[in-house]
A and B are shown apart, each in its own frame.
Chain A
Amino acid sequence: MVGSESSLDEPSRWDVRASRFLGLVGRDDPETLSSKLGAFITLFVLHCAVREWVSLYDVHGDALLSRAPEKVLPLAIWLSLCTLATLTDRYRNAALYGLFMGLTFKLVEHTPTWSNHFTVEWITSVFLLMGARRSEGFPALCQALRWLVFIALFWSGLQKVLHGTYFQGTFLAFVVANSDRFADFFVWVLPAWEFDAVRSTALPGPYRFESWMGLAISNVTWIAEMCFSLLLLTERFRMLAVVGAAVLLVGIEIAARELMFGLLFLNLLLLYPRRDLNRRLLPAFGVAYALILWNRVGLVDFGLTN
């Protein structure tokens, strides 16, 4: 009896659709995936560890020490050990379990007040735990992580549209009026009359930009976020979108000075290019995290918020 080819190994229609859906963000060269993801994992775990050290101590804050140092310090040490473990092939998988456990502990502790960046961090830890322990999971894992970039970028832009606070510059005018951090940036880009008018606006407002520059900055922000995110889904313009998103990120970081979120996002964004930029830029990331820590303990003062 001649047997027919087995259909057990053939992917189902759903598997094909799932693969195509994930593949909208591009497919990577398997040769570079291992190295790229290895560097990404080390940077990501380092990021999580630094976040704990940063939340433990702040010489510029209202209180020097965190409100719960007895919980933050052990977690900071635990994640630092996980970071070291990612540098070895032997203990990398254990580091992923350790990372997931540490972040899940934090998830429970902070329910339901998690910040958006922490939610992304926890989701990333779940993705890594599921797919980074064996090489056959690398392609889908890399695609899933790239999708997180799309979701964050696209929805950041769309939420600005849905809430309607960027068409007249309302949100930015409000933060310029009430935040020295944003005022320090916008004093350089807004006309002097606009800046003075906005800064002197008292509650409850109205808060609006009148100058074309203010309105342009406000509207270009959400337009760029949505356009670059959609271009990430195109083969032809993907790298342009990566560069554009990186430039946008730099602009946002200069204004908001939230370097931790910027580094998290950049590490994810660098998964898009075929080249292993995560590994090549690892030293630069290390310097950036060191500066954040030094800023926190007062060795330097860049005016960073976190």
Chain B
Amino acid sequence: MSARILTRFYATAIAVFLVWPAVQWGLVTFANVDPWKLCGFAMYAMQHHVEVKVIDRSGEEARDITRALIPRAGKARKHFLRYRQVLGDLVSPDELAEMVFGSTDADRISVVVITWRLGPRSSTFESERRQYFYQRPV
């Protein structure tokens, strides 16, 4: 490969890497992506922790069935949690919901994703809660 082509390749690659962390910052801020991942160099800039709960809303009272999923859909929950921790809102819990319906009698469930971050203004460990509602397909 000639020196000229290499120069073009390296210049292009470096230009992309120069800008990419700004994109990663956007994903972290607006899509709850893990700041320690996706090569944004934001490790040690923010703490990030994700919890996932599954709530059975079939009856009159909502029940937390997260623990009860083990071992039937526990693996699916762990898999979803692993990807959700890294990719944030870009990962949908649809597959997890499908697994839960496949392994429980619940007719209506909600998947609750709680993302914990350090709030720069409050200086506290704050949480943001997102809930996804699902009904058993007929």
Chain A interfacial positions (CB closer than 8 Å to B): 11, 14-15, 17-19, 21-22, 112-116, 119-120, 123, 127, 130-131, 134, 136-137, 139-141, 143-144, 147-148, 151-152, 155-156, 158-160, 162-168, 170-171, 173-175, 203-208, 256
Contacts and interface: CB of A to CB of B under 8 A. Distances in A.
Interface of A is mostly: helix
B41 A171 contact: no
A174 B8 contact: no
Nearest to B82: A113
Contacts of A15: 4, 7-8
Contact of A204 (B1, B37, B124): B124
Given A116-B39, A119-B39, A174-B47, A140 B17 contact: no
B7 A163 contact: no
B42 interface: yes
Nearest to B18: A151
A159 B124 contact: no
B138 interface: no
A160 B118 CA distance: 12
**Number of contact residues on B: which range applies?**
35 or more
B13 to A, nearest CB: 7
B120 A137 contact: no
B96 interface: no
Given A156-B41, A204-B126, A140 B25 contact: no
Nearest to B43: A116
Nearest to A122: B39
A131 B37 contact: no
Nearest to A22: B11
Given A112-B86, A116-B37, A256-B44, A206 B18 contact: no
A204 B123 CA distance: 9
B46 interface: yes
A174 B125 contact: yes
Interface centre among B7, B8, B46 (most CB of A within 10 A): B7
